[in-house]
Structure 1
Amino acid sequence: MLRRLSAAEAAVGGLLLALIFVLTLLQAAQRYLPGGGWVWTGELAQFGLVWLTFAMAGHLAARDGHVTLKVVDTVAGPRVLRLVGIFANLTVAVVCLNLAYEAYALVTDGSQQTSPALDMPLGWLYVIPLAGLLLTTVRSVVAVFLPEPETDDGPAVHAPAVHGAAPDAGPAEHEEP
């Protein structure tokens, strides 16, 4: 189920990235065309960037793909790393759950505000962030119990480097003596 979720998140992320790309190109092309431009292209591209950020948050959390400081990784043992990972994932889950609650309040607000160019109800803007925050919460809770980041082939296996082998060396260099 997590693999299907990852595939769906990656597909949504790819579609949103393509949307941003097309809208940005369209906006640039409008500068050279006679007549007025379509203001909504810039607004939708900005919304797309916000949606992309939240839609991919869970996917990146599951693959340990977020920008992180790896200072603890170089000085701590495996047990300390595991405790730090549990603490970090629980913190992310709590924060995302609180943000999801606020996003839900914005979605169900019933406000009549709309975006300036698209005339889109602003409650709609927060639907994808709400889903992304809930998925990131789920991924963080799963990571507490299943700490290995996912790959396309399943959980990643981290083999320690032996005999000064480079970290990106193939499996043959990582064999135990």
Structure 2
Amino acid sequence: MGKAERVFNKISKVLEWFLIVIFALLVFDVLFQVFSRYFIGQSFAWTEEFARFSLIWMTVLGAAYLNAKREHLSMDFLYQKFSEKNKRKASLLIEVLIFLFALIVMVIGGVNLVYTTLHLNQLSGTLQVPLGYIYAIMPFSGFLIMCFSIYHISRIYTNKIPN
């Protein structure tokens, strides 16, 4: 196992555990919200906002994780009809497009969003957390997707990646 593969596996495992922790916190938060509303008779406003932010982080980081595992949603009816050579070309094209999307939309757009919300001092309604910190997951996840795409492109070039 090469150094790049060890780093890839380590990052994937850390990301996987981070997603598990976020999901556990989300479940705990929602259960606490239900418990407090129906058994204590008091609803805490912060639980809804925390659940929303947790779901945002879990979704965006989950997209990066699925990209790492090459388990993202795809329609491969046409792809399966290609020859092995054309499958390789299509895989390269797909990875380049994923890389460009992550760069332009998630990293550049995400950094702009984070900068704007931090510059304007926008705070969340209940938790009073700067929204730039919440949105920072977008460029971070985009950067991870870009790294995973580079890794996949290198594996496609060396014929180490299954079609």
Q: TM-score, normalised by structure 2?
A: 0.85
Structure 2 equivalent of residue 116 of structure 1: 125
Match of 1:53 among 53, 59, 62: 59
* Structure with larger Rg: 1
Q: TM-score, normalised by structure 1?
A: 0.79
**Residue 63, structure 1, aligned to residue 69, structure 2:** yes
Structure 2 equivalent of residue 171 of structure 1: none
- Find runs of 4+ consecutive structure 1 residues off by over 4 angstroms: 155-158
Residues in 2 aligned to 1:63 and 1:129: alpha-carbon distance in whole angstroms? 19
- SS of residue paired to 1:146: helix
Q: Percent identity?
A: 22
Residues in 2 aligned to 1:157 and 1:93: alpha-carbon distance in whole angstroms? 19
Match of 1:43 among 44, 49, 68: 49
Residues in 1 aligned to 2:162 and 2:83: alpha-carbon distance in whole angstroms? 17
Structure 2 equivalent of residue 139 of structure 1: 148
**Residue 24, structure 1, aligned to residue 24, structure 2:** no
Match of 1:91 among 64, 75, 97: 97
User: Which structure shows the bigger proportion of residues in helix conformation?
Assistant: 2
- SS of residue paired to 1:113: coil
Aligned Cα RMSD in Å?
Answer: 1.9
Q: Which runs of 5+ in 2 are unaligned?
A: 1-6
Q: CA deviation at 1:4?
A: 0.8
